[in-house]
A and B are shown apart, each in its own frame.
Chain A
Amino acid sequence: MALTITCPICGKRNGYEFKFGGEEKGPRPDEKDLTPTAWCEYVHMNKCVAGVQEEWWFHKDGCGSWFKIHRDTTTNLEMEVPKVKHPAAKIGGGKSDEQA
């Protein structure tokens, strides 16, 4: 696997120049009346999508910007536009596992 990431400023670069920043979850919620469950949902909980997900990246060894991309977590390939929003899990026996 050889991940590449396209930085909006620097272009397509080796994935190891970047740092992963989590699934896209929207802006920080208002603190007022935020229940522990809702707080935990925002801070810790993930969907762990096996497929295309929207996610944050930081260009650590580059321009230092945070940006979002779509990436297929089953192939580690960047996607221009998500084709399906949340496809059914196609894991554990997909193409990658049989051939890898």
Chain B
Amino acid sequence: MNRLNHLPTLKVDTTDKIAFIYKGKKYYGAKGDTVASALFANGVRIFGRSLKYHRPRGLYSLDGECSNTCMEVDGIPNVRCENTLLKQGMVIKEQNVKGSAENDMMGFLDKMDWAMPAGFYYNVMHKPAMIWPLAMKQIRKAAGLGKISPDYEMPGKFDEVFLNTDVCVIGGGPAGMMAALCAAEKGLRVILMESRPWLGGFFEYRSGVYKDRQTLHDRALHLANEVKAQDNIRLFTHTSAVGTYNNNLITGFQIGKKEDVFDERYIEIRANSVVVAAGCIERPLIFDNNERPGVMQIGCALRMAKTYGQLPGKRCVFSIGHDLGLEAAIELHDLGLSIACIADIREDGQDTVLLKKIADKKIPLLKGWVATKAHGRKIVKKVSISSIDGQISKTFSCDLIVASAGMTPVTGHITVALGTLKYDNHTGFFLPDQMPEKMYAAGRIFGLNDPISIEASGMLAGLKAAHDCERGSTGSLGEIREAEKVMTGLPGPVRGTKLVTAPVKGRKSFICFDEDATIKNIKQAIEKGFDVPELIKRFTATGLGPGQGGIPGHNLPLYVARYQGLPDVSIRPTNVRPPLVPTLISTYAGVNHKMFKTTPMDEMQKKDGGVFRNIGVWQRARYFSDDFSCKKEIENVRNNVGMLDGSTLGKFRLHGPDAVKALERVFVSDMSKLKQGRIKYSAMCNDDGCVIDDGVVVKQGENDYYFTTSTGRAGQTVEWIRYHTRYDGWNFAMVNLTDSLGVINLSGPNARKVLEKIVDIDLSNEAFGFSEYKEFMIADTIPIRAMRLGFVGELSYELHVPASFMKSVWIMLKEAGKEFKIQNFGVEAQNVLRMEKCHIILGQESEQRTNLLDVGLGFLWDRNKAEAKTVGSVALRQAEGDKTRFKLVGFKTENNSRAPRDGALIVDDKVRGYVCTARDSFSLNEAVGMALVEAELSQIGTRLEIYEDECGDDRIYGKVVAMPFYDPEGKRMKM
């Protein structure tokens, strides 16, 4: 195709050819082409087929406001070809066709519309019930537009950026640029977002006069240059603002240029104030076959010529309701398009200069006329027009119908940020009513059409936005008043057309292209009782397609109001929801961080064969071999010595004059009795008395305590203690030492022998006994806090080591332990070891509803400290006598049967409890476990019927036994 090569507005370079594949064949487009303009240049008129009726669809708005030109590009479905720049080697396919878009075997569905009234699917296919599953399969196949393969791997680079600015301007047209310049001149930081790859908006592609001899196009260039010259304007072109939120958070995404390091980039902007100058889209004109390929909006036809150098047709009829239509007719006429007729919906009110030009060029113009039907089976061949009362009609043969009822403001950015709109009879617009705080609208959104007015309104909004920023010389109210005065002297909003539908019955008049919803469907919905637009939307799916409601957005409420004869004041727009432009999931995901904490021993344990798992916010070594029963690890702790990285344990210092009071508030035990250098194991409850945490508390000095918490709770401990003391004004401080200290758990009968080799204090049982605490140095350098604890039931030292020395101590222990057969053990081995000792792990032997008494930790509770108002004590006291609660019990299986799986149920004819942890114990040579059961079943000797998943009629039986199972006297941990 020969392009119009010498237009100043052109954005394509026809000398630079770009090859692409379309339906398996190679074609060429020009540099600067979009996928759509390149296909059009190669003669493609039918781009795809519609969702329900498989009607042929083609170029319509050139801004991707409907699914007409959605295609599969490089494996990505539903790509809006009108907004996507052509790249070398792109592979482009049609969507939702059987055969091709040109010859779609499903095209017959278009004749079946009588069988598919609004919401028909609710009334069919369920009688008899057996047909529904079959019907559903067919529906699923027929529905959906694009295809994605389940193993599709998205190529490309994605980035994200989080910005802060004073003023954020949405829209890089004349109003937006003026607003940005205005705010920038005050010394403010400004971000300007424009969805097209270039600035200029409504001026950019037009050759009309701006002022004197300057064209609108030249003016756009001039403003763009000024914007680019401003250092404090950060410009994002090819960037769509997709979300606006109250408190002025703006999100968007940017398409990368060739030289950028990303293909798409997510942008999140926290702005002080916002200007919305997103302009207008065109209001679709509703008549029969109003979406047939060959029917286009004004901007589409004009920009095809002016931006992409292609005449959109040969012979054309215009059916318009806005001066832009007259202007486009003149321009396209001059470029060689033959215009059979212009039907203008308006009886009067047209721009006189334009009227004169049309008369001079002898273009036939009919005022008060409108297109009623596009003819042509696949593409436009003819058009019928009639007077708006439908009395007289004419038919023209043509291959192009430029159809547009007028303008529709782009108000999504305002309404999703909670601004409100009000219907205005003069413009026919939903105009901004209550704007969100510090957000201002500018430009054509108000119905302005005069270039000077548009710019002035941008300037005014820029001044207001600047004034909201408390930085630099951000202008005065006087300046704003001055700018307002200027506005009143300029041409105001233009009168808009009320009519959106031609005088037709509407069986094939589409109000929503994406969902194939016709005027007739809307009437059917209203008759069925769906009387508000929002319900009609749901019932007919109008506006719920990939076009994000661009086509039916404002037409639907206007049509419904007219059909129901409602007064203007009651007309409300339907909801718009983000993203305002469909946005790739990969773009939203951006960099996609994986965030976990690792302990100082991470690397070394991995080297030793640790199998790691995510446990809460941490990554921990769960196993040290492929044998997930951990037999070797367990036996080595029981017989020799093992070491475990316990660095994830929560570690805190709490000190100050009111330290004891604070501890007493959250721990159930009486902390005032704790002696210096001693350890107390205790627990924290929530207000329901349920155990939320356990750990040890050490008194390090007067009013100075060191305590541990479980791994999972460490992140909330400070918050918890501060919360429960927030009214008291107590004087204490807390330091979270979790990350600065590592923990090594050295356990096993040989533990003392190993430790003795690297420390020079007396470690004998007399000098450092069970449940005692010591501080000492290793090699005069490494300060250690050591505790004698017995979580796994063996002689055991818990060494708290500065994180930076962890590696050294670990290596020293490993070396020293060689002769005593020291081995790593992981979290699962510890889990079994402690289970044999019946030491509980919260979350495993407890759940949300189990309290301190239920899990057998009642001995920790000091009930004689009511004045401490200990969290949970009231509930414990009230629940104490309740016989219907769960109790934690130990059990052994009968007849040497294997241990039931964790989570198995204890049942009779009802569920009576469940197994918390159970294992075939290597230490005991039998299967043991702990279970939470109803108190009735908690007596020693009670037989438990255990129901496992997938057990069918088989049961495992167990018997309640005394706890602990291993070393009941606790000799081994005290040795």
Chain A residues within CB distance 8 Å of chain B: 1-4, 14, 19, 21, 26-28, 30-32, 34, 36, 39, 43, 56, 58, 60, 64-66, 75-77, 95-96, 98-100
Tell yes or no: B779 within 8 A of A by CB.
no
Residue in A4, A27, A36, A100 whose beta carbon sits within 8 Å of that of B247 in the complex: A4
Q: A66 contacts B722, CB within 8 Å?
A: yes
A100–B869 CB distance below 8 A = no
Shortest C-beta distance, B251 to chain A (Å), equals 9
Q: In whole Å, how far is A95's beta carbon from the nearest beta carbon of chain B?
A: 6
* Neighbour of B874 across the interface among A3, A4, A27, A31, CB < 8 A: A31
Pair A99/B418 contact, Cβ less than 8 Å? yes
**Nearest Cβ on chain B to A16's Cβ, whole angstroms:** 11
User: Closest approach, in angstroms, between the C-beta of A55 and any C-beta of chain B?
Assistant: 12
Q: Which residues of A contact B248 (CB under 8 A)?
A: 2
Q: Chain B 395-420, CB within 8 Å of chain A: the 1/0 string?
A: 00000000000000000000110111
Q: Is the CB of A100 within 8 A of B723?
A: no
B758 within 8 A of A: no
Per CB-CB distance, the 9 closest pairs between chain A and chain B, nearest first, are A2-B249, A2-B245, A27-B727, A43-B687, A2-B247, A66-B726, A31-B866, A99-B415, A28-B869
Q: Does B766 contact A (CB under 8 A)?
A: no
* B-side interface residues, number (CB < 8 Å): 32
Which residue of chain B is the closest to A58 with respect to CB atoms? B719
Residues of A within 8 A of B419 (CB): 99
* Chain A residue with the shortest CB-CB distance to B686: A43
Q: Does B232 touch A at the CB level, under 8 Å?
A: no
- Which residues does B use to contact A, with CB under 8 Å? 245-249, 270, 415-416, 418-421, 434, 572, 575, 577, 687-688, 718-719, 722-724, 726-728, 866, 869, 873-875, 878
Instruction: Check B418 against A100 for contact (C-beta < 8 Å).
Output: yes
Whether A31 lies near B869 (C-beta < 8 A) is: yes
For the complex formed, measure the closest distance between the CB of A19 and the CB atoms of chain B, giving whole angstroms. 7
Given contacts A31-B869, A99-B419, 16 further A-B contacts (CB under 8 A): A1-B245, A2-B247, A3-B247, A26-B727, A39-B874, A39-B878, A43-B687, A43-B875, A58-B719, A58-B722, A64-B718, A64-B722, A76-B246, A95-B434, A99-B418, A99-B420
- Say whether B719 contacts A64, CB under 8 Å: yes
Are B246 and A100 in contact (CB-based, < 8 A)? Answer: no
Determine the distance from Cα of A98 to Cα of B245 in the docked complex, in whole angstroms: 15
Q: With the chains together, A29 CA to B874 CA distance in Å?
A: 10
Taking CB atoms, residues of chain B closer than 8 Å to A95 are: 418, 420, 434
Q: Find chain A residues with CB under 8 A from B420 CB.
A: 95, 98-99
Q: Knowing A39-B878, A95-B418, A100-B418 touch, does A28 contact B722 (C-beta < 8 A)?
A: no
Residue of A nearest to B688 (CB): A43
The reply to whether A100 and B727 form a contact with Cβ atoms under 8 Å apart is no
Q: Are A100 and B575 in contact (CB under 8 A)?
A: yes
A-B contact pairs, 29 of them (CB 8 A): A1-B247, A2-B249, A27-B727, A28-B724, A30-B869, A31-B866, A31-B874, A34-B874, A39-B874, A39-B878, A43-B875, A56-B726, A58-B719, A58-B722, A64-B722, A66-B722, A75-B418, A76-B246, A77-B247, A95-B418, A95-B420, A95-B434, A98-B572, A98-B575, A99-B419, A99-B420, A99-B421, A99-B575, A100-B418
Whether B726 contacts A100 by the Cβ 8 Å rule is no
Residues of chain B within 8 A (CB-CB) of A77 are 246-247
Verify B722–A100 contact, CB threshold 8 A.
no
Check if B246 sits within 8 Å of A21, measured CB to CB. Answer: no
Q: A60 vs B718: C-alpha distance in the bound complex, in angstroms?
A: 9
Least CB distance from A64 to B in Å reads 6
Q: Which residues of the other chain, A, contact B249 by a CB distance below 8 angstroms?
A: 2
- Per the bound structure, the CA–CA distance linking A43 and B866 in Å amounts to 17
Closest to B243 in A: A2
Of the candidates A4, A19, A26, A39, which one forms a contact with B719 in the assembled complex, judged by CB atoms under 8 Å apart?
A: A19
Q: How far is the CB of B419 from chain A (nearest CB, A)?
A: 7
The residue in chain B whose Cβ has the minimal distance to the Cβ of A65 is B722
Residue in B closest to A1 when the chains form the complex, CB atoms:
B245
Q: In the complex the two chains form, is B575's CB within 8 Å of A60's CB?
A: no
- Complex: how many Å from CA A30 to CA B722? 19
Q: Would B866 and A32 count as touching, CB distance under 8 A?
A: yes
Residue of A nearest to B577 (CB): A100
Query: Bound complex: CA of A71 vs CA of B421, how far in Å?
Result: 25
Q: Return the chain B residue nearest A59 by Cβ.
A: B719
Residues of A close to B875: CB separation below 8 A:
39, 43
With a CB–CB cut-off of 8 A, which chain B residues contact A1? Answer: 245-247
**A1 vs B245: C-alpha distance when bound (angstroms):** 5
Which residues of chain A are near B726, meaning CB under 8 Å? 56, 66
Q: How far is the CB of A88 from chain B (nearest CB, A)?
A: 21
Contact partners of B575 in chain A: CB under 8 A: 98-100
CB distance from A41 to the nearest CB of B (A): 12
Q: For B416, list chain A residues within 8 Å (CB).
A: 99-100
| CB neighbours of A60 from chain B (8 A) | 719
- The residues of B that contact A65 with a CB separation of less than 8 Å are 722
The residues of B that contact A98 with a CB separation of less than 8 Å are 420, 572, 575
Tell me the complex Cα distance, A21–B725, Å: 13
